[in-house]
Chains A and B, each alone.
Chain A
Amino acid sequence: MSDTTARAIPDRLESRWTTWLKSWEMLLVGVVVFVFAVNAYASPYFLNAWNLSDATFNFTEKAMIAMAMALLIIAGEIDLSVAAIIALASTLMGLALQYGAGTPELVMIGLGVGLLCGAFNGLLVTGLGLPSIVVTIGTMSLFRGIAYIILGDKAFTGYPADFAFFGQGYVWWVVSFELVLFLFIALIFGVLLHATYFGRMVYAIGNNATGALFSGIRVARVKFILFLLTGLMSGVAAVCLTSRLGSTRPSIAFAWELEVVTMVVLGGVSILGGSGSIPGVVLAALIMGLVTFGFGLANVPGIVMSIFIGMLLIGVIAAPIVWRRLRGESVG
Chain B
Amino acid sequence: MISRFLKSREALLAGAIVLLTILIAIRFPAFVSAANLVRVFNDTSILIILALGQMMVILTRCIDLSMAANLALSGMVVAMLNAAMPGIPVPALIALAIAVGAILGAFNGIFVWKLNIPPIVVTLGTLTIFRGLVFVLSGGAWVNAHQMSDAFKAFPRAVFFGLPVLSWVAIFIVVLMTVLIGRTALGRAFYAVGGNPTAAVYTGIDVGRTRFVAFTLAGALAGLSGYLWISRYAVAYVDIAGGFELDIIAACVIGGISIAGGIGSVGGAVLGALFFGVIKNALPVVNISPFWQLAISGAAIILAVAFNARAERRRGRIILRQSEAAS
Which chain A residue has the least Cβ–Cβ distance from B135?
A303
Which of B111, B115, B119, B125 has the most A CB atoms < 10 Å from its CB? B125
B302 touches A313 (CB 8 A): no
Give CA–CA (A138, B296) in the complex, Å: 10
Q: Is the interface of B mostly helix, strand, loop or mixed?
A: helix
Contacting B at CB under 8 A, from A265-289, are 265, 271-272
A135 touches B131 (CB 8 A): no
B116 touches A141 (CB 8 A): no
A124 touches B120 (CB 8 A): no
In the bound complex, residues from chain B placing their C-beta under 8 Å from that of A3 are 197-198, 201, 207
Contacting B at CB under 8 A, from A305-328, are 305-307, 309-311, 313-314, 317-318, 321-322
Q: Is A39 an interface residue (CB 8 A)?
A: no
In the bound complex, residues from chain A placing their C-beta under 8 Å from that of B207 are 3
B253 touches A262 (CB 8 A): no
Give CA–CA (A152, B198) in the complex, Å: 49
A309 touches B128 (CB 8 A): yes
| Smallest beta-carbon distance B71→chain A, Å | 16
CB-based closest 10 A-B pairs: A145-B295, A141-B298, A142-B298, A307-B132, A145-B294, A138-B301, A310-B128, A310-B129, A138-B302, A314-B125
In the bound complex, residues from chain A placing their C-beta under 8 Å from that of B121 are 265, 271, 313-314, 317
B305 touches A135 (CB 8 A): yes
- Excluding A142-B295, A148-B295, A152-B289, 16 further A-B contacts by CB distance (< 8 Å) are A3-B207, A134-B249, A134-B301, A137-B250, A138-B250, A143-B298, A148-B291, A152-B291, A301-B135, A304-B135, A305-B132, A309-B128, A310-B125, A313-B125, A314-B122, A322-B115
Contact with A along B201-212 (1 / 0, CB 8 A): 100000100010
B299 touches A2 (CB 8 A): no
Query: What count of chain A residues pass the 8 Å CB interface test?
Result: 51
Q: Is A130 an interface residue (CB 8 A)?
A: yes
Enumerate chain B interface residues (CB-CB to A < 8 A): 61-63, 65, 111-112, 115-122, 124-129, 131-133, 135-136, 140, 197-198, 201, 207, 211, 238, 243, 246, 249-250, 253, 259-260, 289, 291-299, 301-302, 305-306, 309, 313, 327
B306 touches A306 (CB 8 A): no
Q: Is A9 an interface residue (CB 8 A)?
A: no
| Smallest beta-carbon distance A299→chain B, Å | 13
A307 touches B129 (CB 8 A): yes
In the bound complex, residues from chain A placing their C-beta under 8 Å from that of B301 are 134, 137-138, 141
Q: A130-B305, A131-B305, A265-B121 are in contact. Are A310 and B298 (CB under 8 A)?
A: no
Give CA–CA (A56, B295) in the complex, Å: 33
A303 touches B116 (CB 8 A): no
A321 touches B117 (CB 8 A): yes
Name B131's contact: one of A142, A148, A306 (CB within 8 Å).
Answer: A306
Which chain B residue has the least Cβ–Cβ distance from A80?
B246
Contacting B at CB under 8 A, from A92-130, are 124, 128-130
Give CA–CA (A71, B120) in the complex, Å: 18
| Smallest beta-carbon distance B63→chain A, Å | 8
Which chain A residue has the least Cβ–Cβ distance from B112?
A1
Which of B117, B201, B327 has the most A CB atoms < 10 Å from its CB? B117
In the bound complex, residues from chain B placing their C-beta under 8 Å from that of A135 are 302, 305
Q: Is A4 an interface residue (CB 8 A)?
A: yes
Give CA–CA (A144, B294) in the complex, Å: 7
Contact with B along A216-240 (1 / 0, CB 8 A): 0000000000000000000000000
B116 touches A2 (CB 8 A): yes
B116 touches A331 (CB 8 A): yes
| Smallest beta-carbon distance A124→chain B, Å | 7
| Smallest beta-carbon distance B107→chain A, Å | 10
Q: Is A17 an interface residue (CB 8 A)?
A: no
A307 touches B133 (CB 8 A): yes
Contact with B along A250-266 (1 / 0, CB 8 A): 00001100100110010
In the bound complex, residues from chain A placing their C-beta under 8 Å from that of B246 are 137, 140-141
